Amino acid sequence: MRSTDADARIAGYVFRDPALLAQALTHRSAGAPHNERLEFLGDALVGLVVAEALYLRWPKADEGAMTRARAELVRESSLARIARGFELGARITLGPGEMKSGGHRRDSILSDALEAVVGAIYLDAGYDACRAAVLPWFGPHIDALPAGGIGKDPKTRLQEWLQARQRPLPVYELLSESGEEHARTFHVRCQLAEPALEAEGSGSSRRAAEQEAASAILSQLETAKP
């Protein structure tokens, strides 16, 4: 019989073993048993569930399109957005230091906890139940992707442009970080040796800032005279 305790329920799923959920929601800063092993398991499961969904929903998409879509869906900020939708942060057990610094709002902690919950569901009820519980979390985000998949990201497009012309690859330099720990802003410069161009970008992660800088370089290349 499944528990009816509210503490054993999350995102519509009720745990047979509430201790698994408690561990999934315990950050390592709060002591053992914490959620890192469950996160490891959940990371693989999330990738599988999303890959299977894309394979079935996009019968004509090639491997590259599905790979890019999966990367977009399972990246840290995407998982953190889903976790916020469940108000997961309020349920994560943190140590005093992480609690004081606002760890319950940080993307890395939220995404790790979400993956740990997925791992816990799998151990609690098996893969079929895990897939049934988790797939609805991603369904709306898959539906929101452009038909036929998403294009290559700016960093990849810039790298391919340079490689096709046998030119040096771009160099990305972190210029600054600012803001609270749970809401950082990164400022990055992208430089090319040939042609000699540079651009800057900002974002909530270093990756996002680099993508913005690469996009700015691509715009310069597109508008440059032949």
List CB contacts of 166: < 8 A, sequence separation 6 or more. none
Single out the residue of 11, 36, 33 nearest to residue 22, CA to CA: 33
Active site residue 115: yes
For residues 182 and 152, what is the distance between their CA atoms, to the nearest angstrom? 28
DSSP designation for 148: T
Which of 98, 107, 112, 115 does the annotation list as catalytic? 115
H or E segment to which residue 115 belongs = helix 107-125
Active site residue 17: no
Which of 39, 43, 112, 210 does the annotation list as catalytic? 43
Extract the runs of DSSP E, i.e. beta strands, from the chain. Answer: 9-10, 13-14, 171-178, 185-192, 197-203
β-pair partners for 192: 197
**Token pair of 27, please?**
């950050």
Catalytic residues, by residue number, are 43, 115
